[in-house]
Structure 1
Amino acid sequence: MLRTQQLKTKTTILLVALCAALSGAAHAQTMAHTATFQDSRTTLALDRFAKTLAENLVQSSDYTSVQYALIDVDTILVSGQVGENVKPLNHDTVYGIGSVSKIFAAASVMKLAETNALNLDTPIYRYLPDFTMADPRYKRITARMLLNHSAGLRGDDYVNDALISGDNSTDGYDNFLTILSTQELNADPGAYSVYCNSCFTLSEKLVERVSGKSFTQYITDTFLRPLRMTHSSTPENTSATADYAYFKPEDPSSYWPWIHYNVIASGGINSTAEDMASFARVFMQNGAGILSEDSLAQMQAAEYRRGLWPAEADDSGNYGLGWDSVKLYPFNDLRIQALAKGGDITSHHASLVVLPQQNMAAVVLSTGGSSSLNQQLATKLLLQALATKGIATTSLVEKSFPVLAGVIMPQQLASYAGEYAHSDGRLTITISQAGELNVDVPDADMQSFQYAGNQGFVSPDRSTRIEFVDAANGRTYLWVRRYGTHPLLGQEATSEFQAQKLQPNPLNASTKAAWAARNGVRYYPVKLVYNSERFLTGLPPEEVQVTKDFEGYWGAKRIRDAKSAVSEVQIPGQAGRETQLATFETRGRKEYLHLNDDVLISQQSITALTLDTQHVEIAADGLATWFGLTPATAGYEPQITVPDKGAYAIYDGEANTLHYSVVDGATPITLPEQGALVFAGLPGSTFQIRMVKR
């Protein structure tokens, strides 16, 4: 079956904090489906409002299911679910909450700080003596920097962090400190906040070392059990009898399997909307008492302002400690503080929005969709609930950017034209004397903006404004503000540095020749364990692409020499996350590419599958074995004997997954004319192959 690739959405929103145990009576009131307001006309109307919105969202988007809850003080006013699932959906159906898990890590660190077990501003190597890096600046990293994303780490977790349920190996997490020991920092600790998964995996290590408990046990004892979050778990204590929400892509006829994320603090917790609504009480003014008022105040403060950041504007991303937003739009226009954290893993998405002073929160979990849409749904529910309580929300109006009449662009703005990059790639900015700015992104339609006065350029629909910022660090940034309007959910706002201007990087002749020889060459991942999620979602290879008109770069990576390139962008927020160091290595006649912890093999080092290929043995290094598919084997059905803890996967020429044995078993599959076949397993594992003509 054909599975379209599901990319991890790089959205954000962090969370966190908790408070002392709920009493049994208070909890019973919180979770009761026959709560006091349940019979009121107002609450019934709010319930219908929520259900209608969720149903329309599922019908109009790529959602499989949605589960939601809205809590007021200690009473869940609204709770429901819509969509499809393997088993009928109910309020106990469990979802992966992805990066909303980070709030548990932040709350855990804050709790340990309250007991003086650690100090937020003491370098963490003093608590984690086996934490070292190939960069002496690591000794300046503090717990605060982990929680506000400013530690300066490159930001990606280890390679095998997401596994098909069954064999839940934790080897990658266990060796995480070893992985960090070989890495350098991308920036000075504390210089700016940029979304960082590794910061929270490192905070998980910190919690375990300081508390003397596993992270799972610590959050169970401190939060899950006191708050009676009976349907919340991690990959380490998942219930075999739990009802899970499964994702169903458009093309396949079946649901995807459940996937464990073994970076628990970064994205591995599972929960329900009602459990997370109970957790949200921690952040309310009249909360559960697990964390002190001082801890909550610190977590809700504007941590993003400690380092480089755009000027204040309407936004959905402005970091606190754990929270991705401590000043969420449009609540800021109502002078109401709103905290938000979102999470996106391959098939699950989550959003938590809390109004601490109003003692309210909304949770939206889903299979399919996105955390940003979930956040908009949560926002819509909270605004409606505020209105029913007599809090005026009618002052909120949809916004756009003004365009001043008759303005002429200052000609010095033309100097900002050039090549820009974010950690994912490049874009080209051109600016005409008449004030037209064009943004050219590879494989996308060109976007045009017109000078609108006050040093800014605005899109034709006035939803987006671009300005240039020369920052104190000597770098030039593309500052993009946007009001995005969803027909069902209303408006959201973003404000971020989206790219950094690149400087020329001329190469010497030998370096230029080495990269010219690699230009257009693809590299395939070989470090994946046999049940890696990535085999399921499609494996687009890394392709070296160096441009002639602006030499010295591979995408956003600056070429350093004949065998290495590195991302050097330093962009706060989302656009500068997960930077890469690329190095090339030759083993015998095979060339390998190292991207941080990942290892990939050159397509020129891969042999073509033939009709004579009868067995494949995984080498002692455990790296996966790849074969190219050609017309010579097209139309044949491979009948493969798979060893224990082994798997194979087949891809078409566009890198879409056609067959993955962990999921599809021995279901017959006919080989395409182009594509690839990969075998993965333990060292020494042997696959027997017989080719049958169909």
Structure 2
Amino acid sequence: MKTRTTALAAVVLLATAPLAASAGTATAGTTAAGPIAAGPIAAGTATATVDPAALDRYVADYADAAAYPGVAVAVTKDDRVVHVSGHGRTSAGADVTAKTRLPAASVSKAFTSLAAVQLAERGRLDLDAPVTRYVPEFRLADDRAGAITTRHLLEQTSGITDRTLPEKSLPQPGSFAEALTRAAPTSLATDPGAQYRYSNTNYHLAALVVERAGGEPFAEYLRRNVFEPAGMRDTTSVTTTPDDLPDDVAKGYVHVYGAAIPAPEPTRFVAGSDGVLTTAEDLAKWLVVQTTGRATTGARLVSDAGLRRMHTPSTPDRTYALGWETANGRVRHSGIWFTHCAGQLLLPSGYGIAVLANTGVALGNEGTSRLEDGLAAFLDGTTPAEPSTARVPIELVLAALTLLSLALGVRALRRPWRRRSTAQSVLRLMPRLGPVTVLLLLPTVLGVLVGGGRDLSAVQLAYYSPALVIWLAVSSALNLAVLATRATRLLRDRPVPVAG
């Protein structure tokens, strides 16, 4: 949050300063923890004692405080489903229940990881063999790409980053073949295996490897080998948004000045990275699989060694394993769309937690992790933190800044122009380009400062914080208007040379 606040403060200064300066001159006349201990949690090691009513009250209070229109949760203990519930409503007006299908977003990466580990245990995929063994046409504009393995993709250490392949702002593919074509001009930021850098492209490619090694379409492999054996009857996987979303998946929300507005998810390629649609009821069954390796019916989906492989980073200096993040003895992964968010968390005590929410990631609301942590405290018998979010206060501040920029801009346009030398006038007008420059550069700046180098398009920035974009757009428009009027007057008043 400190980095985000600092970045926002810098934006405030750059966008407001020209108008504020104009008002003044007008008066004068113009996370790191080490990996968790290896090994799955043994089933049935303790008895779950959870007060469902108290848990639901906490979730409802959190949803109200965080302005989540709808949220569904699942809680498991070892090999048992303890509690599932839903709260609030969808944008279609239906109650959110444990059976409401919602996007799992990047929680989907753990499903891709399980599929790859399954194939490795069946002898059909070598995680440490080059990707080209399974996808011969895989080529990048970098000779080092031939050394990329499936493990590198799953660990996010391939060398592909959002800086080398800006997967969100580039045109979106509609198939794995198009994803390969889009990736072809890419260079690598590092040698494969050298450094962790999160990018959805790694999981697009990993899903293609699963498809080739599994011998059937990726979504079909997940259905037959993961969803159905786990008893996840209402779970499916899609390739693109929003076109592939079924009718029963309602639009999620973006937030503007405290109001939740239904919005379609931007067009994105999500196969393997964040394309799973599921329910709290099904995610409870998934948590049992990730704790025991078995479905609630007893069917084994993965070995204990496979669980350790998925949940344990390959080196002690990393926290990302295979589709799971590890820290402080916990294993988790967040999921972020621009209109939905999700998260899953496995605790050393044997509890599992999953959350699905129908509101997108936003400035001041970075997903469901705080709710998961609150539930973890509740389950472990400690006092959860008070539910809160900075989103509404931030949006109110941005609303005030928008009104201030509007007032200062109108005032600057109405003030008379004081004649100066051309050089002085140009120097005084140049800062008025600041707000529009910030607006144009902000997707990149936020991607670096807040997203750790992630890619963000201009459209997605508007989803992330409409209030921020509105403020910058208003400030930019007014500063450009002032700039245009001053420049026009400067040119009009320029002395005309006399012929000698």
Instruction: Give me the TM-score of the superposition, normalised by structure 2.
Output: 0.63
Tell me the equivalent position of 2:336. 344
Aligned with residue 278 of structure 1, among 280, 285, 289:
285
Between the aligned partners of 1:486 and 1:358, the Cα distance in structure 2 is 19
Asked if 1:128 is matched to 2:127, the reply is no
Tell me the equivalent position of 1:78. 83
Deviations 1:247-298 (A, max 9, x none): 2524567522356643221112111122111111122136332011221111
Tell whether the 8 Å contact from 2:73 to 2:353 is kept in structure 1 after alignment. yes
Asked if 1:116 is matched to 2:107, the reply is no
Tell me the equivalent position of 1:319. 320
Tell me the equivalent position of 2:273. 266
Tell me the equivalent position of 2:59. 54
Aligned with residue 306 of structure 2, among 286, 295, 307:
295
Between the aligned partners of 2:478 and 2:123, the Cα distance in structure 1 is 61
Tell whether the 8 Å contact from 1:67 to 1:365 is kept in structure 2 after alignment. yes
Q: 1:161 to 1:56 in 2, by over 3 A?
A: farther
In the TM superposition, what is the alpha-carbon distance from 1:173 to its structure 2 partner? 4.5
In the TM superposition, what is the alpha-carbon distance from 1:69 to its structure 2 partner? 1.2
Amino acid of the structure 2 residue aligned with 1:346: F
Tell me the equivalent position of 2:387. 488
Question: Structure 1, unaligned stretches of length 5 or more?
Answer: 1-10, 20-35, 163-168, 310-317, 333-337, 388-392, 395-484, 491-516, 525-538, 545-553, 557-566, 579-594, 601-650, 657-670, 676-694
Asked if 1:364 is matched to 2:363, the reply is no
Between the aligned partners of 1:219 and 1:135, the Cα distance in structure 2 is 31
Tell me the equivalent position of 1:335. none
Tell me the equivalent position of 1:378. 372
- 1:80 counterpart SS class: strand
Between the aligned partners of 1:286 and 1:209, the Cα distance in structure 2 is 24
Amino acid of the structure 1 residue aligned with 2:63: V
In the TM superposition, what is the alpha-carbon distance from 1:215 to its structure 2 partner? 1.2
Tell me the equivalent position of 1:628. none
Aligned with residue 237 of structure 2, among 234, 238, 243:
234
Tell whether the 8 Å contact from 2:161 to 2:189 is kept in structure 1 after alignment. yes
Q: Name the structure, 1 or 2, with higher relative contact order (CA <8 Å, separation 6+).
A: 2
Asked if 1:171 is matched to 2:174, the reply is yes
Between the aligned partners of 2:106 and 2:272, the Cα distance in structure 1 is 8
In the TM superposition, what is the alpha-carbon distance from 1:323 to its structure 2 partner? 0.5
In the TM superposition, what is the alpha-carbon distance from 1:200 to its structure 2 partner? 0.7
Deviations 1:364-401 (A, max 9, x none): 111226586622322332343344xxxxx69xxxxxxx
Amino acid of the structure 2 residue aligned with 1:350: A
Q: 1:118 to 1:363 in 2, by over 3 A?
A: same
Q: 1:12 to 1:115 in 2, by over 3 A?
A: farther
Deviations 1:483-527 (A, max 9, x none): xx953389xxxxxxxxxxxxxxxxxxxxxxxxxx9x969999xxx
Aligned with residue 452 of structure 2, among 575, 578, 584:
575
Question: Structure 2, unaligned stretches of length 5 or more?
Answer: 1-30, 41-46, 390-429, 459-468, 482-500
Asked if 1:200 is matched to 2:203, the reply is yes
- 2:195 counterpart SS class: coil
In the TM superposition, what is the alpha-carbon distance from 1:541 to its structure 2 partner? 3.2
Q: 1:654 to 1:178 in 2, by over 3 A?
A: same
Tell me the equivalent position of 2:99. 92
Between the aligned partners of 1:145 and 1:261, the Cα distance in structure 2 is 23
In the TM superposition, what is the alpha-carbon distance from 1:157 to its structure 2 partner? 5.9
Tell me the equivalent position of 1:618. none
Q: 1:349 to 1:674 in 2, by over 3 A?
A: farther
Between the aligned partners of 2:80 and 2:133, the Cα distance in structure 1 is 43
In the TM superposition, what is the alpha-carbon distance from 1:239 to its structure 2 partner? 7.4
Between the aligned partners of 2:193 and 2:231, the Cα distance in structure 1 is 37
Aligned with residue 137 of structure 1, among 129, 132, 144:
144
Asked if 1:223 is matched to 2:226, the reply is yes
Between the aligned partners of 2:273 and 2:82, the Cα distance in structure 1 is 30
In the TM superposition, what is the alpha-carbon distance from 1:674 to its structure 2 partner? 8.3
- Measured on the aligned residues, the alpha-carbon RMSD in Å equals 4.4
Between the aligned partners of 1:378 and 1:68, the Cα distance in structure 2 is 9
Amino acid of the structure 2 residue aligned with 1:339: V
Tell whether the 8 Å contact from 1:63 to 1:369 is kept in structure 2 after alignment. no
Tell whether the 8 Å contact from 2:436 to 2:473 is kept in structure 1 after alignment. no
Tell me the equivalent position of 2:252. 246
Tell me the equivalent position of 1:560. none
Aligned with residue 354 of structure 1, among 330, 346, 349:
346
Q: 1:51 to 1:192 in 2, by over 3 A?
A: same
Higher fraction of strand: 1
Aligned with residue 316 of structure 2, among 305, 314, 327:
305
Deviations 1:187-212 (A, max 9, x none): 11111212121111110111112222
Between the aligned partners of 1:294 and 1:231, the Cα distance in structure 2 is 28
Tell whether the 8 Å contact from 1:541 to 1:655 is kept in structure 2 after alignment. no
Tell whether the 8 Å contact from 1:68 to 1:80 is kept in structure 2 after alignment. yes
Amino acid of the structure 2 residue aligned with 1:285: T
Tell whether the 8 Å contact from 2:239 to 2:275 is kept in structure 1 after alignment. no
Q: Tell me which moved more, 263-272 or 247-256.
A: 247-256
- 1:350 counterpart SS class: strand
Between the aligned partners of 1:543 and 1:240, the Cα distance in structure 2 is 33
Q: 1:160 to 1:230 in 2, by over 3 A?
A: farther
Asked if 1:181 is matched to 2:184, the reply is yes
Between the aligned partners of 2:435 and 2:207, the Cα distance in structure 1 is 35
- 1:106 counterpart SS class: helix
Tell whether the 8 Å contact from 2:210 to 2:218 is kept in structure 1 after alignment. yes
Q: 1:201 to 1:57 in 2, by over 3 A?
A: same
Between the aligned partners of 1:302 and 1:107, the Cα distance in structure 2 is 15
Tell whether the 8 Å contact from 2:78 to 2:350 is kept in structure 1 after alignment. yes
Between the aligned partners of 2:103 and 2:349, the Cα distance in structure 1 is 27
In the TM superposition, what is the alpha-carbon distance from 1:72 to its structure 2 partner? 2.2
Q: 1:51 to 1:102 in 2, by over 3 A?
A: same
Q: 1:127 to 1:199 in 2, by over 3 A?
A: same
In the TM superposition, what is the alpha-carbon distance from 1:68 to its structure 2 partner? 0.7
Between the aligned partners of 1:363 and 1:205, the Cα distance in structure 2 is 27
Amino acid of the structure 2 residue aligned with 1:282: V
- 2:145 counterpart SS class: helix
Between the aligned partners of 2:137 and 2:238, the Cα distance in structure 1 is 25
Instruction: Give me the TM-score of the superposition, normalised by structure 1.
Output: 0.47
Aligned sequence identity (%): 23
Task: For 1:495-574, list aligned pairs within 5 A.
Answer: 541-542=440-441
Between the aligned partners of 2:340 and 2:133, the Cα distance in structure 1 is 36
Tell whether the 8 Å contact from 1:92 to 1:272 is kept in structure 2 after alignment. yes
Higher fraction of helix: 2
Q: 1:286 to 1:191 in 2, by over 3 A?
A: closer
Between the aligned partners of 2:60 and 2:452, the Cα distance in structure 1 is 32
Q: 1:150 to 1:384 in 2, by over 3 A?
A: same
Tell me the equivalent position of 1:213. 216
In the TM superposition, what is the alpha-carbon distance from 1:80 to its structure 2 partner? 1.8
**How many corresponding residue pairs?**
373
Tell whether the 8 Å contact from 2:254 to 2:338 is kept in structure 1 after alignment. no
Tell whether the 8 Å contact from 1:135 to 1:183 is kept in structure 2 after alignment. yes
In the TM superposition, what is the alpha-carbon distance from 1:555 to its structure 2 partner? 7.1
Tell whether the 8 Å contact from 2:435 to 2:472 is kept in structure 1 after alignment. no
Q: 1:132 to 1:243 in 2, by over 3 A?
A: closer
